[in-house]
Amino acid sequence: MNSTDATRRFSSRVEHYGRHRLGYPTVLVDFLKDTCDLAPDHVVADVGCGTGLLAKLFLKNGNLVYGIEPNPEMRAGAERALRGYDRFRSVDARGECTILPDSSIDFVTVGRTFHWLEPEAALAEFARILRPEGWAVIVWVNKKTSSAFMAAYDALLLTYALDRREVIHRRRRLRRFLTDRAFQSQVFEDRKAITHENLEGHTLSYSSSPAPGHPLFAPMLDALRVLFNQHQRDGRVTLEHELKVDYKRLGVRSLTNACW
């Protein structure tokens, strides 16, 4: 699994991703204000911007945001979703080579994306573009399985998703990678009640879910419908997630831009 492969994984998932992936809670920005002195005049590079879910939080805070996204379909999705924000800049680039100038950024953010990057190269690039006191902020979104519905939903994904176990293993390894490099961590909980349409779209937004035409596609949707009917209350089920935020000052005074 490498970053080049990852840029192609979500090309057919844009509509589901933009409409049904859960956004990020405002508590994340509040935390960064309190802990990292985030201010509206800070410049943010959102690496792996996707359809703009995390970038939107910072745009609402007043920040200038560079959305770094190599996948053309996902990048176009962000441009559509964020066209009302005049401080959004869409950038066709990878996290390991953002093409941004040295020491030009106050915060590099990564949401749900770090496991698709080559970690050493990515951290070196973050350090290059960050100002001397700049922060790297990496957000992981992990399912909680404490409720009966979430435990059953997680089991369903493991049954039908094509390489989900590999992705989970890589995520765990890279979380340890960041801990070993002295990143600090903070955990938040997030939950949202959603309809069956939302649950289906959310599931199909995963790059490891079988696509239309795959033999597992229809069986997965049938199993998802059964699961929803078993656990719904008033036409909704509750998705529960844990957000783990890894953060560290990473800016340096001078680095050669080796990726240009």
Q: How many domains does the chain have?
A: 1
- Confidence class for position 259, pLDDT limits 50, 70, 90: low
Question: What's the pLDDT score for residue 235?
Answer: 97
CATH number for the domain harbouring residue 77: 3.40.50.150
For residue 206, tell me if it sits in a domain.
no
Would residue 58 count as lying in a domain?
yes
- At residue 2, the pLDDT reads 41
State pLDDT tens for residues 75-97. Answer: 999 999 999 999 999 999 999 99
Using a pLDDT cut of 70, give the percent of the chain over it: 92
Full domain range(s) for residue 112: 3-145+163-193+241-249
Query: Does 56 reside within a domain?
Result: yes
- For residue 217, being part of any structural domain is answered with no
Give the mean pLDDT of the chain: 91
155 within a domain of the structure (yes/no): no
pTM score, whole prediction? 0.90
Task: Convert the pLDDT of each residue in 34-66 to its tens digit.
Answer: 999 999 999 999 999 999 999 999 999 999 999
pLDDT of the residue at 17: 77
Classify residue 234: in a domain, yes or no. Answer: no
Least confident of 124-138, 223-237, 238-252: 238-252
Predicted local distance difference test score (pLDDT) of residue 23: 87
Q: What is the pLDDT of residue 108?
A: 98
The 10s digit of each residue's pLDDT in 100-156 is 999 999 999 999 899 999 999 999 999 999 999 999 999 999 999 999 999 999 999
- What per-residue confidence (pLDDT) applies to 252? 65
- pLDDT at 21 > cutoff 90: no
- The answer as to whether 78 is a domain residue is yes
214 located within any domain: no
Q: How would you write the chain as a 3-class SS string?
A: CCHHHHHHHCCCCHHHHHHHCCCCCCHHHHHHHHHHCCCCCCEEEEECCCCCHHHHHHHHCCCEEEEECCCHHHHHHHHHHCCCCCCEEEECCECCECCCCCCCEEEEEEECCHHHCCHHHHHHHHHHHEEEEEEEEEEEEEECCCCHHHHHHHHHHHHHCCCHHHHHHHHHHHHHHHHHCCCEEEEEEEEEEECHHHHHHHHHCCCCCCCCCCCCHHHHHHHHHHHHHHHCECCEEEEEEEEEEEEEECCCCCCCCCCC
Q: What is the pLDDT of residue 18?
A: 72
